[in-house]
Amino acid sequence: MQLQWVGHATALVDVAGRRILTDPLLTRRVAHLRRRRPLPSPHVAEVDTVLLSHAHLDHLHLPSLRKMHPNTQFVTPVGTGRLLRRAGFDDVTEVSVGDRVELGGSLVTVEVVPAAHKHGRGPHSRVTAPPVGYVISGENRRVYFPGDTDLFDEMEQLTDIDVAMLPIWGWGSSLGTGHLDPTRAATATGLIHPGIVVPIHWGTYAPEDGRRLPSWFEDPPEQFERALADAGLSQFLHLLHPGESVSIA
């Protein structure tokens, strides 16, 4: 199993011959935000399956999704399928917590798990969808992708996780409800006890305001490392920067 963190909440998982992409965000600009890392290779969009965690614009981003082949398979929360079909995609499976989706002739299984986050798409949309997370299982390896979430009661029931991709920040100076910060992400690490934890959802996009990058853009991994150390969990950390990969042997 190979995992590449592309940036923000986007990760590419190669397992059992399947290429799976999470919450694709592949453009230089997203509304008022600008990508402050190099754009990923176009090859990143050549995937079999896309997993979408919730309806927010920086996670279900139609300009990025249009970079995918029309035959790409989409797994997405109930309430968002219409957006994808209107964008020209036919292979769309809407899911709820507790569902299981088999990929590649059952070589890979995707389990749909809870997430604690807002349900809406944004202030100018009536689309609502319960957020979800996913556990990808294949080749005797399990990867947890939560999308955006805060701590939730069922988190300690996520067992035998080899890689937990935990969000630790966002794209602004503060976090609203429904997000993990470095301290809560360390708590989540203790609940899940994965083989390794890869912090995501930090250091990729920032507002376009002409000033130098603020401290919240680069500092979250150091804060997360300190929080893990305080909890006696330093051994779990595997830090990646956007574009970097790790092989799960």
121: closest CA among 174, 66, 64, 79? 79
| pLDDT, position 210 | 64
Would the pTM of this model clear 0.75, i.e. be above it?
yes
**pLDDT score at 101:** 98
Q: What is the pLDDT of residue 213?
A: 87
Report the C-alpha gap between 84 and 71 in whole angstroms. 12
| Rg, the chain, Cα only | 17
Task: List the chain residues with pLDDT less than 50.
Answer: none
Question: What phi and psi values does residue 13 have, to the nearest 5 degrees?
Answer: -115, 120
Q: What pLDDT sits at residue 24?
A: 98
